[in-house]
Amino acid sequence: MLKSRILVLGGCGQLGTELVAHLRAQYGAKKVIVSDIKEADDEMMAQGPFEVIDATDYSQIEDVVIQYEITEIYLLAAMLSATGEKFPAKAWQLNMTSLFNVLDLAKDGKIEKVFWPSSIAVFGESTPKNNTPQQTVMEPSTVYGISKLAGERWCEYYHRKYGVDVRSIRYPGLISYKTAPGGGTTDYAVDIFHKALKHDCYVSFLNAQSELPMMYIEDAIRATIAIMNVPRSQIKVHSSYNLAALSFTPEQLAAEIKKHRPDFQISYDPDFRQEIADSWPNSIDDSEARNDWGWEHKFGIEEITEIMLRELGPVYAK
């Protein structure tokens, strides 16, 4: 019997929705408690324990930790890049306060292990664009990236100062058919499939040549569970690991879609998210994650395109 009892904070987002399903399949529904700022849809509410929690409220988290005898917390509550630029103070408050709450619970011995996601948003215009190394210049230009970089340093500090077992990966853009785009700069790579099926055309808010690191959601989930399950001795990076799968541009993704839908057309009307994308890497060197805990991706652009069109197709079928 697995003794882990897991709390997922912010469990109703793009990553959380699918991560929860995998965790419950592995640990059992009753051992994975899901929470968010408001109630989930009926399906998730019926699948297992759910608690409404404001992740910026320490006492709310602590109460649930005690009630369910939680051993691990996955902190997914955050305001993403594009949304964060519209509400910078709120983004900083949510992203940082929630992290301190969880780190403090671990510092005080109330939980054993923490997962906290970072992002390629920690990098900036001065960062090497190609095969961005694990350790490099970081000068993020968004409040989301600033909060993630600060969070990485606090994770490292809590590990070094208090022995907190906190594990983290820098996610690239994530692609999933199960949840709608959530306000990130890389979300064009999800929205484009919906528009292709609905209208056979898409207006991209990034230019044709904006190459960004991307990953299919199942790869991201495997990485997340893998890093939490390896022995503590294998974790060498206590800020956040680079994580990569593939990189492509809107033009390249559109060309792949056209192989399946020859009438599909893409046009370009870059907005404020273009400046964000321009500050991020084209590709990531994740050799340390591959060496330290055996990370490897499975999905390329062809497989991702085929899956997205196949799974979303019935939604738009006439």
Give the amino acid at 67. Q
Contacts of 98 (CB under 8 A, 6+ apart): 9, 10, 55, 56, 75, 77, 78
> Is 218:175 a contact under the CB 8 Å cutoff?
no
- Looking at the chain, which runs of residues are DSSP E strands? 6-9, 32-36, 50-52, 72-75, 113-115, 118-119, 166-167, 169-171, 173-175, 201-204, 212-216, 241-242, 246-248, 265-268
Strands 212-216 and 246-248: antiparallel
Provide φ and ψ at 237, rounded to 5°: -105, 120
What is the C-alpha separation between 192 and 179, in angstroms, rounded? 14
CB count in 10 Å sphere of residue 71 = 17
Determine whether 144 is an active site residue.
Answer: yes
Task: Report the chain's terminal Cα–Cα distance, integer Å.
Answer: 47
Q: Which of 27, 74, 144, 177 is catalytic?
A: 144
**Distances from the Cα of 230 to the Cα of 69, 119, 168, 192, 292, angstroms:** 22, 21, 13, 36, 10
Residues catalogued as catalytic = 144
